[in-house]
Amino acid sequence: MKKLLGILLLIAVCVVGLLSAGTATPVGIGMLVAGSGTLLADAPALTLDTQKIVFLRSLKEEYEAIDTWMSEAEDLSMFVAEGQTLQFPEAGADPDVYKNKITDIDSVEPEETVHKVELDVYDSQNYKIRNALLHALPFEKVQYYTRKSANSIIKKEVKDTAYAWAPKAAGHKISIQASTGPARGGYKMLSLDDIVALARDCDNKEFPDGRNLVLPSDMWWDLVNNNEILKGQLKNLTPNGTIKPTMVEYYGFKIHKSLGDKLGIAWDTEEDKLAPQGAEITGDVVPCGLLFCKSEVFRAGGNMEMFYRDKSIDPEGRAYTFGFQHRFKSDFQMSGNRYSGLIYLTPAS
């Protein structure tokens, strides 16, 4: 009995000693620290994985919420293998048609071409948030920075898409028109007559349906505000009771507005060709809008990834570092059909 009491007394002393040392308290991602500040052990990676899920989900929500004219193109994302390579078939030629033939009809076996296209990789610059300025990353802060990342990524994708779909010069299956309206700001404004001329030329060249015209903001507003037909379309309320002036329709075109410098293309009137991507609009290099047909172009999105380093493994900077990557590609669907066009502002002088 005395031996048993001695053992219990020894256990009690050990327990009191442990309690006086302080309890373990979580103070960061991936570590546990005792009350005295002594490192005890690494926590499971579950916390980090969960935080990455929150980051990525927020980025995808922000990315998908950005409504752009690129949504009018055929989405071939379903043909992206392992999130990196686009694989899609191009159909064979149309069959011959015979009239009043009284002999056997021959056969043709279509030859399909399977295209394999590597998606481009878009990396956003990393954000580095020091622990001294931010103890934790609440969801609102995450959402703020993921929104900025999503906007930056899609802005770059929009510019690359516009340049890829724009005709580089006049040619077969291409329609290029100049503005003829009244002068404003050094250029002749876009008018409805210009849209009619573009539509007539597209008809004569047998452009397919699904025609979309994307205009920089100034060109779009000049066109819409100077005629009652298009202004009347803006008076139609959406179901939630608000007006979203981003697209009107006229003579078979969906006419989209591109904000700011997001379109990023220009026409060189001296060289009579598309200016290099990112060229400054000045002198002979003038603003222009893009014409594309839904069935002729594609867009495809692949993997969306996050790269993250926790402050616990950055003893020098003591900061959270994170950035995002998206795989994306846009181009023409078929090598033989490249219907496209543009309309540019004519200098007023």
| Residue 345 located in a structural domain | yes
Query: Which pTM was predicted?
Result: 0.76
81's CB contacts (< 8 A; 6+ apart) are 87
| Residue 21 located in a structural domain | no
Per-residue pLDDT of 253-299, as tens digits, reads 999 988 766 788 999 999 999 999 989 999 999 999 999 999 999 99
| Residue 12 located in a structural domain | no
Average pLDDT over residues 175-191: 95
* CATH classification of the domain holding 72: 3.90.1690
Which pLDDT score is estimated for 124? 93
| Residue 122 located in a structural domain | yes
Residue range(s) defining the domain that contains residue 205:
49-95+110-349
| Residue 101 located in a structural domain | no
Per-residue pLDDT of 27-40, as tens digits, reads 333 222 223 233 33
**CA count, 13 A, side-chain hemisphere, 183:** 4
Number of H helices, E strands in the chain: 6, 21
| Residue 14 located in a structural domain | no
- Per the structure, how many domains does the chain have? 1
* Closest C-alpha among 310, 308, 307 to residue 29: 310
* Closest C-alpha among 165, 159, 256 to residue 216: 256
Q: Where are the alpha helices (DSSP H) in 166-227?
A: 192-204, 217-225
| Residue 44 located in a structural domain | no
Share of the chain above pLDDT 90, in %: 38
| Residue 337 located in a structural domain | yes
